[in-house]
Structure 1
C-alpha cells in the first residue's frame, strides 16, 4: 500500500502549512514541528488532518520511521 508523508498529503491537497495549522487549531510553529516529525500528532489531530487532505488515515505516515 502506498503511504504518504504528512507533507506529501498536505501538498497534494494544496493546503499551506499556515492554513493547515489554522484548521487544526495549532500555531504555525507547532504544526511545522509535527510535520517534520519532531512533535507527535495526537490521534484526534491525525484524524482531522486526514479528513482535511481527503486521504484515508491509514495511508498517511504520521511518524518518521
Structure 2
C-alpha cells in the first residue's frame, strides 16, 4: 500500500479518480496501484511526483518495503 501517496492525495483533496485521470488509467487500475496490488510504472511515478512537486522517493515506497528489516545493532554500538 502506498501510504505516503494516499496521505498526500487526501491532503490535497484529490480523489482516486482525479489521480487516475492524471496518469491516464482506469479508476480500478489506479486503486490497484495505490493499494499495492500492482505497481506504478516509472512514467506514472514521475507524473505524480511532478504534480505534487516532490521527489519520487518522498512519495513512493519500494516494492518490497514490507520485507525490509531494520538491522539489529550489536551491543556496545
Structure number with greater CO (CA < 8 Å, separation at least 6) is 1
Which deviates more, 52-61 or 22-31? 52-61
Superposition misfits of 4+ residues, deviation over 3 angstroms: none
Q: Secondary structure at the match of 1:58?
A: helix
RMSD over aligned Cα atoms: 1.7
More strand by share: 1
Which deviates more, 51-60 or 27-36? 51-60
Counterpart in 1 of 2:33? 34
Structure 1, unaligned runs of 5 or more: none
Aligned positions, number: 62
Give the TM-score normalised by the residue count of structure 2.
0.69
Task: Find the structure with the greater CA-based Rg.
Answer: 2
Give the TM-score normalised by the residue count of structure 1.
0.79
Structure 2, unaligned runs of 5 or more: 66-77
